[in-house]
Amino acid sequence: MRTIYSIIGVAVFALLTCSKVVAADAKTTAEACWADGIAAYEAKEYDVAVEKFEHIVSLGYVSGDLYYNLANSYFKLGEQAVEEGLNKFSGGELGRAVLNYHRALRLDPTLEDARYNLELAVDNTNDTEALPESFIATIWRNISNLAHSNSWAVSSLVMLALLLALVMFYLLSNSVTIRMIGFFGAILLVVGVIFSIAFALYSKYEAEDDNRAVVICADTTPVHASPESGSKIIRQPSQGVTVRVSRSHGDWSEIIFADGEKGWIRSAKIEQI
């Protein structure tokens, strides 16, 4: 019996040791690819940069900065095609750039450069039917993106603690001045707590919204009225257009555009953010 336990123990130890070695090798490879990718990007070897950054993603190491650099590499690679006598973004680089900018912002909504570059990339798509965002909605989104959802949640807890302290001052103090400070300060903190919670929930919703997808194609791709190739084509979005996926049927996915129009597209032509 002891022999069996000894064998099991040795096997478990060997398995854990091998796992640690594999993890260490993967981390070393990822770090080397990161350095090579940055060097390739600076040398304008964007195809090499894409290869290196994509390999890091395949190893399971992802971050906002990684997706941001990958998106930049795809975008520059698509622009570089013009210098080589090809059409701009002819290899689907624009769609990949938009996709990875979205993924970068999903992991780190505070990456303002990624948000700015995403807007530049979207300007190259034919997503002209999208509903314009209102001024208030823009302000709301910009404020919520100043911090992660967890940071907003912590802020609300801190303000709630201060609120309780001010309420105590108001109830226990005999000074009119302190009571006034406690009263009006508490009102301001109540408003602050409400908005912090709202920003936290909005930021969390944006980060966890897994129904969004980006159209990935070389040029444009047809969207049909039903999940059949022979059905009416209702729209032809270009690569890089962001949609929402409502359901799937075989090799088809029903998507919803920003203006609310629905249609069916080949699932292979879109990729989830």
Residue 264 pLDDT exceeds 60: yes
Residue 18: HSE in the Cβ half-sphere, 13 Å Cα cutoff: 6
The domain locations on the chain are: 2-122, 135-208, 212-272
User: Which amino acid appears at position 24 of this protein?
Assistant: A
Average pLDDT of the chain is: 84
Give the CATH H-level superfamily of domain 2-122: Tetratricopeptide repeat domain (1.25.40.10)
Centroid of chain to Cα 107: 5
**Global model pTM greater than 0.75:** no
- Of all residues in the chain, what percent carry a pLDDT higher than 70? 85
Top CATH class, 212-272: mainly beta
* Number of helical (H) and strand (E) elements in the chain, helices listed first: 8, 7
- Tens digits of residue pLDDT in 38-83: 999 999 999 999 999 999 999 999 999 999 999 999 999 999 988 8
**If you write DSSP's letter for every residue of 78-119 in order, what string do you get?**
HHHHHHTTS-TTTTSHHHHHHHHHHHHHHH-TT-HHHHHHHH
Q: Taking a C-beta distance cutoff of 8 angstroms, is the pair 54, 70 a contact?
A: yes
- The SS3 of residue 214 is strand
Residue range 85-140, pLDDT digits in tens: 788 898 899 999 999 999 999 888 889 999 999 999 999 998 765 545 566 766 77
